[in-house]
Chain A
């Protein structure tokens, strides 16, 4: 299948070619680029070809055969950029995944890709009627000097900072749940309610996009869906707070560490300020310890309006990396 993409102004790198997506056969290369970035400390978590296959089964607002570009050197994929768009309140965001092998990042291969991606997103945007605001969005690590430089040269502004935080599993603080709130496992018939409850809790967060059923299915089939490890607080039959803990054993093995993620932390608005999140996190930490892990980690929006950052800091989590969200308006 000829998927070559011809671009103007390409750097003089022997064997360099750009091309579109070829299907599942591209997943191992995409996973490999992710690994290279992770080893360089630029992204979090593991991403295998199988994980991509689950994710792509439930893709929406993205046609992989039109919305992905690869850069190859001598037939080997070294970078991959992908577009997906989402409704964020009244505006549409055109999200950009941009993954590139850090070793060849300075060769200028990324510039024509960034341009292609923006042009492609403009095309997609034109095909969607409406007068709503449209913006490009991309995340990158704050210390990813090259990516920061490229985004700034394309006119993007840093708008939001997300802290990746971790803590060891000694000196776990004690915290009690308020009267009337219990913790119990979610039954399979309740998993969807727990997910929906978290969406309500997150809905007033900055940058929230209403998740769709495809997102639930994609998560349900993923390695990170580990309901056995969740800590869910209930008011009667209603899930009102949760920590959706998970363990990424593939990542732990690759990085030689024993980490559990205390992620997906949320409490419904009427129940905030009662120490529910604190109690659920404390329980999660004790659980990870008895699972013989050595550290817990999470990522938080540093400007989170509910004061999440302060809570995590008070519970001993410390920032080890900052991820930055960059945005730029699409041309009118």
Chain B
């Protein structure tokens, strides 16, 4: 154990002077429960809204995408107890020559605002810059951190380091009373997804989301991770199929997070993953699928439905959701800053 900690210890020049504060790389799956514990503490403090399960972090660990957990994740430990962590990965934008270098950073509330943010961000940026040094230089390269407005210490640290809000995301919800109705256009039918359909639905969702802001290329790893996430609940998806060629053209990938409902003592279903392939847009497919999803959530004895939308979504999604009775209740944001060019 002692040897392990020495081997993975990392020196961080901007670390605050706190006795017995050390930094170490992520070791193995035994670290995942620590990540859950820290995330839960942020949720308790109202800085993070979702409940992330060990199962979900295990999916990440098994299918980390453009990330090597043992090199790209770092813990801050006080008296050998993890008090915060950061993990980083990168993605290629789908429609522009741009690469997004993402930092996830979580610090226990009682240890926030004491310099740990700067230390972990410093390490994360250097780690991403090192990864980016092997990447093409001619494209746009940005650091990205997704956070809620309640993460004030993190937001302040990001502002100090030159990050700016790049995009706001609105969380919306509605009660499951007075449900709207809408029918599907001719030529479309609803039927459940069978295991053999999962790939086609994934491909259609990639096509449907391609023109979202900063949408990124997906990899086989992303697909494999999706299949193992707790939010992967095909039994309650609503999928619109083009009758002529039997292909999925629109979807609401509904899910229910039972642990989150238990924690917040509520009965919420997420009407998420809403998209329609370009050829079928403007014909009311999304509206009909959402109406169907709301009726379904009610039949599943849920009492509210929720979703997150890009506040500047070009297809007017927020207007559609407002029209269907969803109301904003929370805002999250993506803060970004350009990555400097590689040193010559």
Which of the residues A227, A249, A292 comes within 8 Å of B190, measured between beta carbons? A292
Query: Number of B interface residues, CB 8 Å?
Result: 25
Interface mask (A270-288 → B, CB under 8 Å = 1, otherwise 0): 0000000000000100110
A159 in contact (CB, < 8 A)? no
Q: Which residues 176-194 of A have a CB within 8 angstroms of B?
A: 183-185, 187-189
A250 and chain B: residue at smallest CB distance: B195
Kindly state the separation between the CA atoms of A86 and B223 in the bound complex, as whole angstroms. Answer: 43
* Neighbouring A residues of B194 by C-beta, 8 Å: 249, 252-253
A258 in contact (CB, < 8 A)? yes
Given known A-B contacts A185-B261, A227-B258, A258-B191, A287 and B299 have beta carbons under 8 A apart: yes
User: B236 near A291 (CB under 8 angstroms)?
Assistant: yes
Given known A-B contacts A287-B300, A291-B235, A185 and B195 have beta carbons under 8 A apart: no
Interface mask (B165-204 → A, CB under 8 Å = 1, otherwise 0): 0000000000000000000000000111111100000000
A228 in contact (CB, < 8 A)? yes
A231 in contact (CB, < 8 A)? yes
A187 and chain B: residue at smallest CB distance: B262
User: A286 near B299 (CB under 8 angstroms)?
Assistant: yes
A1 in contact (CB, < 8 A)? no
Kindly state the separation between the CA atoms of A187 and B234 in the bound complex, as whole angstroms. Answer: 20
User: B301 near A249 (CB under 8 angstroms)?
Assistant: no
User: A292 near B192 (CB under 8 angstroms)?
Assistant: yes
User: A183 near B258 (CB under 8 angstroms)?
Assistant: no
B194 and chain A: residue at smallest CB distance: A253
* Neighbouring B residues of A229 by C-beta, 8 Å: 235, 300
User: B299 near A249 (CB under 8 angstroms)?
Assistant: no
User: A184 near B236 (CB under 8 angstroms)?
Assistant: no
User: A249 near B300 (CB under 8 angstroms)?
Assistant: no
Given known A-B contacts A249-B235, A253-B195, A290 and B296 have beta carbons under 8 A apart: yes
B196 and chain A: residue at smallest CB distance: A253
* Neighbouring B residues of A253 by C-beta, 8 Å: 194-196
Which of the residues A185, A189, A247 comes within 8 Å of B300, measured between beta carbons? A185
Kindly state the separation between the CA atoms of A259 and B195 in the bound complex, as whole angstroms. Answer: 14
B261 and chain A: residue at smallest CB distance: A187
Given known A-B contacts A247-B235, A249-B234, A253-B196, A290 and B299 have beta carbons under 8 A apart: yes
A293 in contact (CB, < 8 A)? yes
A288 and chain B: residue at smallest CB distance: B299
Kindly state the separation between the CA atoms of A286 and B298 in the bound complex, as whole angstroms. Answer: 11
User: A228 near B267 (CB under 8 angstroms)?
Assistant: no
Interface mask (B33-48 → A, CB under 8 Å = 1, otherwise 0): 0000000000000000
| B165 CB, nearest partner CB in chain A, Å | 36
Kindly state the separation between the CA atoms of A253 and B195 in the bound complex, as whole angstroms. Answer: 7
Interface mask (A61-103 → B, CB under 8 Å = 1, otherwise 0): 0000000000000000000000000000000000000000000
* Neighbouring A residues of B258 by C-beta, 8 Å: 185, 187-188, 227-228
B341 in contact (CB, < 8 A)? no
Given known A-B contacts A228-B258, A229-B235, A253-B194, A185 and B299 have beta carbons under 8 A apart: no
Kindly state the separation between the CA atoms of A331 and B280 in the bound complex, as whole angstroms. Answer: 71
| A219 CB, nearest partner CB in chain B, Å | 16
A226 in contact (CB, < 8 A)? yes
| A57 CB, nearest partner CB in chain B, Å | 17
* Neighbouring A residues of B195 by C-beta, 8 Å: 249-250, 253
User: B235 near A228 (CB under 8 angstroms)?
Assistant: yes
B133 in contact (CB, < 8 A)? no
User: A283 near B299 (CB under 8 angstroms)?
Assistant: yes
B292 in contact (CB, < 8 A)? yes
* Neighbouring A residues of B154 by C-beta, 8 Å: none
A228 and chain B: residue at smallest CB distance: B256
User: A228 near B300 (CB under 8 angstroms)?
Assistant: yes
* Neighbouring A residues of B190 by C-beta, 8 Å: 292
* Neighbouring B residues of A291 by C-beta, 8 Å: 192, 235-236, 296
Kindly state the separation between the CA atoms of A231 and B194 in the bound complex, as whole angstroms. Answer: 23
B295 in contact (CB, < 8 A)? yes
* Neighbouring B residues of A183 by C-beta, 8 Å: 301
User: B191 near A292 (CB under 8 angstroms)?
Assistant: yes
Interface mask (B252-267 → A, CB under 8 Å = 1, otherwise 0): 0000101101100001
User: A290 near B235 (CB under 8 angstroms)?
Assistant: no
B233 in contact (CB, < 8 A)? yes
User: B192 near A293 (CB under 8 angstroms)?
Assistant: yes
User: A184 near B235 (CB under 8 angstroms)?
Assistant: no
| A223 CB, nearest partner CB in chain B, Å | 11
* Neighbouring A residues of B292 by C-beta, 8 Å: 290
Given known A-B contacts A228-B258, A253-B195, A292-B190, A184 and B301 have beta carbons under 8 A apart: yes
User: B234 near A228 (CB under 8 angstroms)?
Assistant: no
* Neighbouring B residues of A184 by C-beta, 8 Å: 267, 301
User: B262 near A188 (CB under 8 angstroms)?
Assistant: yes
B302 in contact (CB, < 8 A)? yes
Kindly state the separation between the CA atoms of A187 and B257 in the bound complex, as whole angstroms. Answer: 10
Q: Which residues 184-234 of A have a CB within 8 angstroms of B?
A: 184-185, 187-189, 226-229, 231
A294 and chain B: residue at smallest CB distance: B191
Q: Which residues of A contact B (CB under 8 A)?
A: 183-185, 187-189, 226-229, 231, 247, 249-250, 252-253, 258, 283, 286-287, 290-293
10 pairs of A and B residues whose beta carbons are closest in the complex: A287-B299, A187-B262, A253-B194, A290-B296, A292-B190, A290-B299, A292-B192, A185-B301, A247-B235, A188-B258
A-B contact pairs, 16 of them (CB 8 A): A184-B301, A185-B256, A185-B261, A185-B301, A187-B262, A188-B258, A231-B301, A249-B194, A249-B195, A252-B192, A253-B195, A253-B196, A258-B191, A283-B299, A290-B292, A291-B236
A-B contacts besides A188-B258, A227-B258, A228-B300, 18 pairs, CB < 8 Å: A184-B301, A185-B261, A185-B300, A226-B235, A228-B256, A229-B235, A231-B301, A247-B192, A249-B192, A249-B193, A249-B235, A250-B195, A253-B195, A253-B196, A258-B191, A258-B192, A291-B192, A293-B192
